[in-house]
Structure 1
Amino acid sequence: MKDNTAAWLDSPYADLVVRDAPMPVPTSGQLLVEVRALAVNPLDAIIQSNGAVMYGWLRYPVILGEDVAGVVVAVGDEVTGFSVGDRVVAYAIGLEKGRDAVAESGFQGYVVVDEGLAAALPDSMPFEEAAVLPLAISAAAAGLFESDQLDLDYSILAGQAPRDEVVVVWGGASAVGGNAIQLARAAGYRVITTASVGNHDRMRRLGAEAAFDYRDPSAVGQIVEAVNGSPVAGILAVAVGSAEPCLRIARATGAARIAMASPPVSFYDQPRRRGLSLARMRLFLRLGVRTALLQLRSRTSGVRASFIWGSAIATSPVGPAVWGGYLAEALAAGRHLPYPEACVAGEGLSAVQGAVDMLRRGVSAQKLVVILAPTSAIS
């Protein structure tokens, strides 16, 4: 096994710098994974752009990255489901409070991950395809199934008898939305979604029974008509600006809960540099005002609207149900498709900063992936 390297974030707002990193050591219940592919997420760009906002507990330098796929090269005590040489996809949660933002983050050659947040990959699935999944499916699962979110029944994923209840996913072409469609269908719910017209067929292939253009001014009315009086179990709001139309749908259908995967403003609309700026001040003013108005409108309508925190599944029964009980088998059987499509943005850790910058400029129905060459004796 060779030395480890990582793409480091040395300080808020800085560019990522590739250099040596400590070799992570798996503790009880953890796997050491040699990373073969990693994906970038809006969260990585937001942390780099926001400094201490949101993730104020981070102590720099840190390593970003949540989505990894690779090969297990060592296991900690009490690991029962994996062995050295296994091909896995895993959710790296080093950026979360109380975790190790160096050893447990994904933008590096080797990373330690919790056994309960890893799933075996079929031999036929390339690492770059699998790397799109971890944060997206975890956030989708949290929004759908956590008791303080939509609280849907996940007792028999991929085996539940069909229900008449509808789940509305606003933003189905997003990474979280596409995985939410598949998870909700696996739990037996009907799904109605929104996406651009060019993605409607893709949404149906993922399991949505109907898809509507989110840019159409009549989309809310079309969704209400498609629900046709059926009970709406919950609404998942994905993408900036999705909460307001979702609240109108909830009012019209009697839905009691909205789970929100995105803030009401884009954090990309600010300079990536230290200090106050007019753009940053305006952004956080809009964020505060729109969030307060949304909460006021939802409460007066009897609707509970809450923001999703994807890593919540790491300490709840949802994590084992999705990662341990569902994902590996569903991938092997083709019941859960890696979504969104992987777009390879480069090879090697030096390509990660460019991928994050590309993400800021906008990516639709794809996830940017960086491929890493194998470094250990395990092929």
Structure 2
Amino acid sequence: MSPTLKPTRPPHSKSRTHPTPVPDLHEIVIQTRAVAINPVDFAIQTVGTGLFPGLTFPRTLGMDLAGTIVEVGNAVTRFKAGDRVLAHPDVLKKTAAGAFQLFIVAQDNMASHFPNNTSFEEACVPPACLSVAACGLFQKDYLGLECPTVPPTPNGKILLVCGGSTSVGCNAIQLGVAAGYEVVTTCSPHNFEYVKKPGAGYAFDYSSPTAVEDILVVLKGKLCAGAVAIGNISPPGNGTAAAEACLDIVAKSQGAKFVALAMVYQGKMPEGVDGKFIIGSTLKDNELGAKIFEEFLPKALEAGSYLYAPEPLVVGQGLERIQEAFEVVKKGVSARKVVVSL
């Protein structure tokens, strides 16, 4: 039997016990050792079916974890019991995939090995936001960029990431650089050096009244591959300024006229520019999942060219600390990812 933390009715949660899950053909069962908190977790808890119609409660939440495999499905060949992995489980598909429990199931194409010198608390940081960034950058119905490689092959194009110090932003920067793009990003001035660690070539103050004009100077004479604009998923309109800046820059620069939106944007698109809200789990159903979690990420982590960013902020140990961790995220953290050890 496996303890789990389930919202019984938004915004409440309760610890329950249920049978340890059994993997389907292409699933793995993971004993969870550390989980990270995303704003979407408590957004689901608070808004419930208003955010994701079709969800039922009680439901175990959580989209970021690291742990040890205890069982694999009959069609799984890449993993075995005892392997240390990070994973992005499909919590929207089944409650047995929610990260906030001691044993979970995940699809094998949404998990990666990580080096032995990495802690579980570090390893649980990237998966979900890595998936969001990857969908926005590489899927054909978004920016459709070339996939990342180890080592990267520079292509001379520029990628704009508005919100580079966020969890999605850190991953978008790293994936963009690994795919051969020079990255321009926006953030608070105190995070300028921070966003350059994952590879941003330029960092601009998002609140500056001249930010758009300053970025256009950098882009002059170069091809822009498009942009990723990042804000919180709830409430609608959060991150509007980032979206509008990205849309304005893309409209006025040479190159792709598309902005991948990691937010609910309700404003008007400039003429000739398109944008789309990123559904960050769709890579599990196409070839991108394996390209990122199987072909790219393990090599990049082993080579030390991909950072576990933002840095983990461990706020406690045990499932009973999850709700407390939600409150820490709600109050706001900068350039950190809130983590709970299990």
1:186 maps to which of 172, 178, 181? 178
Matched residue SS, 2:283: helix
Cross-structure match for 2:279: 309
Measure, in 2, the Cα distance between the counterparts of 1:222 and 1:57.
Answer: 44
Q: Which moved more, 1:354-363 or 1:138-147?
A: 354-363
Matched, 1:333 2:303: yes
Which structure 2 segments of 5+ residues have no match? 232-238
Give RMSD over aligned pairs.
1.1
Matched residue SS, 2:132: helix
Matched residue SS, 1:16: strand
Cross-structure match for 1:260: 261
Q: Give yes or no for contact 2:49–2:56 (8 Å, CA) kept in 1.
A: no
Once the 2 structures are TM-superposed, how far is the Cα of residue 203 of structure 1 from its aligned partner?
1.3
Matched residue SS, 1:10: strand
Matched, 1:245 2:245: yes
Q: TM-score, normalised by structure 2?
A: 0.95
Measure, in 2, the Cα distance between the counterparts of 1:40 and 1:336.
Answer: 20
Matched residue SS, 1:116: helix
Measure, in 2, the Cα distance between the counterparts of 1:364 and 1:126.
Answer: 21
Matched, 1:159 2:129: no
Q: Which has the higher contact order (CA 8 A, sep 6+)?
A: 1
Letter in 1 for 2:6: W
Q: Which whole-Å deviations, capped at 9, do the CAs of 1:108-158 have from their partners, x for residues lacking one?
A: 00001011000001000000001111111000000100111111011x522
Matches of residues 1-379 of structure 1 in structure 2 within 5 Å? 3-11=1-9, 13-95=10-92, 99-100=93-94, 102-154=95-147, 157-239=149-231, 240-241=239-240, 242-254=242-254, 255-264=256-265, 291=266, 293-294=267-268, 297-298=269-270, 301-372=271-342
Once the 2 structures are TM-superposed, how far is the Cα of residue 16 of structure 1 from its aligned partner?
1.5
Measure, in 2, the Cα distance between the counterparts of 1:113 and 1:161.
Answer: 32
Once the 2 structures are TM-superposed, how far is the Cα of residue 219 of structure 1 from its aligned partner?
0.8
Matched residue SS, 1:369: strand
Once the 2 structures are TM-superposed, how far is the Cα of residue 49 of structure 1 from its aligned partner?
1.3
Q: Which whole-Å deviations, capped at 9, do the CAs of 1:338-362 have from their partners, x for residues lacking one?
A: 0111000111000000111211111
Measure, in 2, the Cα distance between the counterparts of 1:93 and 1:191.
Answer: 30
Letter in 2 for 1:143: G
Which structure 1 segments of 5+ residues have no match? 265-290, 373-379
Letter in 2 for 1:53: G
Once the 2 structures are TM-superposed, how far is the Cα of residue 332 of structure 1 from its aligned partner?
1.2
Task: Provide the aligned length of Structure 1 versus Structure 2.
Answer: 333
Q: Give yes or no for contact 2:150–2:299 (8 Å, CA) kept in 1.
A: no
